[in-house]
Amino acid sequence: MDKSVAVSRNDIGLESPAGRKLPVGLRQVVAFVLILLALVALWEGYKLLGAVTAGSIPMPVRPDDRSMPHIWSIVGALFKPARRGGEDILLIILLRSAVFTWREALAGFTMGSVVGFALGVVFVRSRLLERGLMPYVVASQTVPLLAIAPMVVIWGSRLDWPAWTAVAIISAYLTFFPVTINTLRGLRSPDPTAVELMQSYAASEWQVLWKLRLPAALPYIFTALKISATASVIGAIVGELPSGIPDGLGRALLTFSYYYVSGPEKLYASIIISALLGIVFVVIVMLVERMVVPAQRRLAE
């Protein structure tokens, strides 16, 4: 992703000569930090504006500490015990929850990716099945997750599954769709002449799929997996709410929003950790992509 961007910039001559520029990874970190600083400045600037004008201009969000705690109180909350005399700081508690939620998300991500990939392969082989099933696949994504989650949880508890499996299924439900769509698109991406060449060598359908279509589809599939990685985390968090699972980020978010006025910075801190979990998951998928897909064939994003 980053490399292709760098290459394209070089092509149009935006970059200084190659020897003098910072390494790609470092530049990305610098950009990330700069944007982070800009966001912090925006947040605190808004609060400052509110303090200076003292309510004389209407503002969409109240700039007070209850609606928008200072960034340093949010960060500070992470390094304080979650409660008076508590043993662990909030960061440790949230990281533990994040690991728990990630396990559910990973299970869902795996299930969803496998199902999504399988559907893509089936659809590329059969136009009939594609036309018949695709509307349902699309419809499945327009039904609100909030309506589906409690149903899955109730079925799961009727069937005596461990609680986390229902969460993983909800997470898989959010995951499979981008994989199906992109797998299908990727498998169709080879040039028709290439397919014809394979056929002229008397290659079987299976061989065309394995040797031509699949390698061509990989960049598309990995693009979908990156979307699915974040979606699986969202699915896991939403799935935890009706499951009554106490160990994940869902519970932390629920508790801190329930007691919002008692510690708004704690809710923001949990949101930041949830976002970080999504980022880490995407980075992991990117690292796997680097191992599997050659640099020149990765899709630019």
The minimum distance between CB 271 and other proteins, in angstroms, equals 14
Residue that the structure tokens 């998300």 belong to: 105
The minimum distance between CB 290 and other proteins, in angstroms, equals 10
Angle, alpha carbons 158-150-271 (nearest 5°): 130
The residue count of the chain comes to 301
253/271 Cα distance (integer angstroms): 7
Nearer to other proteins by Cβ, of 107 and 184: the residue is 107
Terminal alpha carbon distance of the chain: 6
Nearer to other proteins by Cβ, of 203 and 246: the residue is 246
180/67 Cα distance (integer angstroms): 40
Q: Provide φ and ψ at 95, rounded to 5°.
A: -65, -40
Task: Give the residue among 255, 244, 251, 253 at the shortest CA–CA distance from 154.
Answer: 244
Nearer to other proteins by Cβ, of 56 and 262: the residue is 262
Q: Which ranges constitute the DSSP H helices of 54-84?
A: 71-78
Nearer to other proteins by Cβ, of 6 and 234: the residue is 234
Angle, alpha carbons 173-284-277 (nearest 5°): 65
The minimum distance between CB 1 and other proteins, in angstroms, equals 17
Joined tokens for residue 2: 């980053």
94/226 Cα distance (integer angstroms): 23
The minimum distance between CB 260 and other proteins, in angstroms, equals 5
Nearer to other proteins by Cβ, of 131 and 211: the residue is 211
269/266 Cα distance (integer angstroms): 5
Nearer to other proteins by Cβ, of 3 and 211: the residue is 211
The minimum distance between CB 61 and other proteins, in angstroms, equals 12
The minimum distance between CB 212 and other proteins, in angstroms, equals 10
Residues that bind other proteins (CB under 8 A): 62, 66-67, 82-86, 88, 93, 100, 102-104, 106-107, 110, 149-150, 153-154, 157-158, 160-164, 210-211, 214-215, 218, 241-247, 251-252, 254-263, 266, 288, 291-294
